[in-house]
Amino acid sequence: MTGSSPAEVDGQPVTAAQLRELLQRLDALCPGGLRAPAGGSLDIAVVDPVTGALRASVTRSELERLARRGCTIHPDGHCRCPVVDRPPGTDRYRPSAPQRRFTTVRDRTCRHPGCGNHAGWADLDHVVPHAEGGATSCENLCCLCRRHHRLETHAPGWRFEMDDDGVLTVTTPSGVRRVTRPPGMAMALDGARSLDPPCGAEPLHAGSGRSGSSAGAEPPPF
């Protein structure tokens, strides 16, 4: 993957042996194994048990293929080489299908603070704009509903920043700062205080310098 290290779970690479064990566990869940329903899809998320960060997202057929193929460098299978990773970056503006799947599985909803619109209806936004050199990579893509995508792209004074694991920081024109994390992701164990809005808090709106308050409101940016 361009610009990042291979996917790891609890500090260890995801190997073919681990994928085969995962398949066995999936097959033990129900008769015939866990598979996509007729006309539906099944995405399997590989998640770090310590941080909750998404490391890979694969379909059942991809999982079977990777487990069967194993490491192409060490065909005897006795190695710790990673065989699954985040989708690689692309030089194109439009994200690839694997990038879309990974990002929607990771984000699940629009990532703007307080917005719960489903990721399936969201746009994939380049946090650092593609026209300004931002990569089309999972580390620079996040789900935003159309309203908040327009805000991020066109509203003056708003700043969006994201780290490699999808932790998104949004700063309003008046300096109010909110951090949203992918669902299930734990805070980094650095003693930092969470800036996530509490459950049920009012979302940050365009033109408002405060969350849930009209005091000191700024003119709507569009």
Q: What is the mean pLDDT of residues 139-154?
A: 96
Question: 179 to each of 168, 200, 216, 220, how far by Cα in Å?
Answer: 6, 15, 22, 22
Entry pTM: 0.72
Q: Give the residue-averaged pLDDT of 179-208.
A: 54
**CA angle in degrees (0–180, nearest 5) for 73-74-79:** 120
Summarised one tens digit per residue, pLDDT across range 56-89 is 888 888 888 888 887 777 777 677 777 788 899 9
171/49 Cα distance (integer angstroms): 30
Averaged pLDDT, 127-150: 96
Decide: residue 31, CB within 10 A, 0-12 exposed, 13-18 middle, 19+ buried. Answer: exposed
User: How many C-beta neighbours within 10 Å does residue 208 have?
Assistant: 21
**What proportion of the chain, given as a percentage, has pLDDT over 90?**
42
pLDDT at 89: 94
Instruction: Please report the pLDDT score of residue 12 as a whole number.
Output: 64
20-27 mean pLDDT = 85
CA 70-75-77 angle, to 5 degrees, is 65
**Residue-averaged pLDDT of the chain:** 78
Give the pLDDT band of residue 27 (cuts 50, 70, 90): confident
Q: Which among 15, 182, 2 is positioned nearest to 88, based on CA atoms?
A: 2
| Cβ count within 10 A of residue 2 | 11
**Do the beta carbons of residue 83 and residue 70 sit within 8 Å?**
yes
Higher pLDDT, 80 or 22: 22
